[in-house]
Structure 1
């Protein structure tokens, strides 16, 4: 596995490849929750979808990174499932990542980052261990060259799927309709790969009408590209000292079928 190279600085966990941070050491967990599961209202929307008869709530992420967004989302969805009266309350979380963070590097970081939230620390650690186990047991001989698919489950009907490779190639191959997307690549100024028009169009075609997406970045060109793909885009208030973030909704009238294999 081609793991990411990271190091700790005063402002957070930093990628040596891009120079951008994964999350702040001061309030990174709170900010990630605000921008991703919070902004997309995943708990409320999943509960409503399950009660309406939708079998599975689907989240897709560009830039799985440390797994923090996944852990935060699963906590929200667990709470929603506990109060759900529907017959099924399944979850599928699909991440696209070129170089995930090595679980061994996260061992000492997770407890500090999770702080006083033992539930988050336990689930985040579980995801990290399952990623390490899946990577160590993986056999790529049956897959096309250039990417790896890792899968594991946290509970029956709750599937985590991590596609490792170039998202510009991977996303167009997928047959899925996500209820929401987390656009969590490094900042466009640090890594332009996840912000191109073709990839964002592929994301749009793989979003359920009425679905949403969010991102830390409020870059004008990202918002314009999403708007050109049919999203209703808002430059929403950011977390803390960050003035703005991006939040977008795909109108219910959009009915683009998914493409790819």
Structure 2
């Protein structure tokens, strides 16, 4: 029986890798590293950099190409088909490189529990036992970078996606929104009145870029900065917090 260790590695900063994650990576018989095309080669390189700093002895590494998700109207159907394809690639990669592996590690950006589908993909492989090593989330890194609390006093926080925000607007009763997986500019669909935004790209990495202010004043700056950074790096990961009411 093979154990698949889903190892949260934070947001790209090797200092975010926990002691538990380091132990799991060193105990692995095989480490899987995804490739998402030449435009996102930095993502694979960051994983390699982390391994170069935390491995105390050589561990076999297998790169694999992440299948492309179909662009179709049935979003959930496309995602499920995509997850099926990724699971097949994982199984084929393990079978090719270390079919006898007792422990296989997959390095997961951020944390495997928060708006990440790695656990859902792993569930498609019944021959594997899955274990999770939690990592520093992009939300933790975002609030730390801006030196703000995630919630206002005694108030809840809604964690959502750019797609949900764009399609359904500001959730009723919410004062703070943490928005992930925004393909760009979902906040422009909102009434910016009395709304502040704390935005970050490449949070925790050397390329980290932060913008904060009233949404009505900084929305255009965020959009133009996002376009520039994507051109410079070939990819972008960003996240932001929206808050209404003026409290921090």
Q: TM-score, normalised by structure 1?
A: 0.28
Larger radius of gyration: 2
Q: TM-score, normalised by structure 2?
A: 0.29
